[in-house]
Amino acid sequence: MNVLFISLADIFSVDAKGIYTDLLREFIKNGHNVYILSPTEKMNKADNPIIQEHCAKIVKVKTGRIQKTNIIEKGINTVLIEPRFKRAVKKYFKDIKFDLVLYPTPPITFTNVVKYVKKRDSAKTYLMLKDIFPQNAVDIGMLSKSGLKGIIYRYFRRKEKKLYDVSDRIGCMSPANVEYLLKHNPEIPSEKVEICPNSIEVRDLSLTDDEKVRIREKYGLPTDKKIFVYGGNLGKPQGVPFIIECLKSQTDNPDAYFLIVGSGTEYGRLENFFVQFKPTNMKLMKSLPKDDYDRMIAACDVGMIFLDHRFTIPNFPSRLLSYMQAKLPVLACTDPNTDIGKIIADGGFGWWCESDDVQAFNEIAEKAATEDIRALGQNAFEYLDREYSVSGAYKTIAR
């Protein structure tokens, strides 16, 4: 089977670790040929846009800035991506007959590319729904349903519905995602919507006690405290003002240390907090290379997830999987509409509170800082192996 994968993920090798490359390797392992369209923000005329690997061909399509930029620039460049990707299909894959087109959101603007390949090759189409735009932008005030921003909202809402329509099947990250999608898009036949969660190649990334000490010393982290870590994007979806309030409330906790690692449009807010308050039991770090990041995460004790309380859509951040691979229990502070907190609590590998309740966060943090939580971490890894293995996602899509 020839598989075309279209994504905004910046993929340079299928051997890289991540939710998409892990899945594509699973397709390759099962005898399929994989072709990838992936953006690059910088490319000179002399650069070769083609990367040929074992059973995989990657074409890098030049785009404008679409990551870590303002919504206007991101919106314009996202709209322009579609014709560029379509031209790339015609130029580089004109002799390839695809059996399956696989594509995640974001963005929602790949409809014409997908439709073109579907019609040309009679290909099946599979949407991996990783976020629900434009409603997520409305929830956090980046768009609105009235005024000038309302015009933009309605444009993207039409694009969203067209993408659902051209998709033969839609894989959602959790039961709450399935419920939300069908409730707000009643024209979608329920039989083409299913659960296909974020998944990875399951690897035990936990560390021994001696290894943890070495990693902590390398980064200047304490060896005698429970370390709560947040790693990932620091933008509006994470509700950074609430994160700051939680950190403020924990500056006197003698048993806990808080580590924030990441980058994004709201990083400056956190930086200002650290400069102003100079907390002694906390550290803020910029993003690290993937392997270094994974080892530092594994040297910590509790992984944290934050989502803005205003969200009405059920987000399900993929950073959960990094924590589970490292055998860390998870503290999720989210809106009440996502089911990630319920899954964590019911699965016996962490805690949940709403992301407008600092007191609830404090109670959980203080409890976790003084208890033996290793069993919760083992539960996390076993749940990962059972529910979020990439082999399961492959079987769902390829059936």
Q: What is the pLDDT of residues 172-187, one digit of tens each?
A: 999 999 999 999 999 9
What is the pLDDT at residue 43? 56
Residue 38 has pLDDT above 70, yes or no: yes
What is the pLDDT at residue 329? 97
Of 19-28, 59-68, 199-208, 229-238, give the lowest mean pLDDT range: 59-68
Query: In degrees to the nearest 10, what's the CA dihedral of 63, 69, 74, 76?
Result: -80
**pLDDT interval class at 191 (50, 70, 90):** very high
What is the pLDDT at residue 169? 98
pTM of the model: 0.91
99 — phi, psi (to 5°)?
-95, -30
282 — phi, psi (to 5°)?
-150, 155
Helix H or strand E segment including 107 = none
**pLDDT interval class at 288 (50, 70, 90):** confident
**pLDDT interval class at 120 (50, 70, 90):** very high
What is the pLDDT at residue 65? 66
Condensed to tens digits (0 to 9), the pLDDT of residues 228-241 reads: 999 999 999 999 99
Condensed to tens digits (0 to 9), the pLDDT of residues 356-390 reads: 999 999 999 999 998 899 999 999 999 999 999 99
What is the pLDDT at residue 68? 58
Query: Distances from the Cα of 67 to the Cαs of 63, 77, 300, 340, in angstroms?
Result: 11, 10, 28, 25
Residue 78 has pLDDT above 90, yes or no: no
All structural domains of the chain: 2-196 (3.40.50.2000), 209-386 (3.40.50.2000)
Give the closest residue to 287 by CA, choosing from 217, 235, 227.
235
- Report which residue type is found at 275: V
- Edge-first strand order for the sheet with 56-62 is 50-53, 56-62, 33-40, 2-6, 100-105, 124-129, 169-172, 193-195
Helix H or strand E segment including 6 = strand 2-6
List alpha helices for 45-95, DSSP H. Answer: 71-92
Condensed to tens digits (0 to 9), the pLDDT of residues 289-332 reads: 888 999 999 999 999 999 999 999 999 999 999 999 999 999 99
- The two beta strands, 124-129 and 100-105, are parallel
**Average pLDDT over all residues of the chain:** 92
Residue 76 has pLDDT above 80, yes or no: no
55 vs 72, more confident:
55
What is the pLDDT at residue 341? 96
Q: Which tokens sit at 397?
A: 């899509």
* Residues of the chain above pLDDT 90, percent: 81
What is the pLDDT at residue 41? 74
- Per-residue pLDDT, averaged over 277-281, amounts to 93
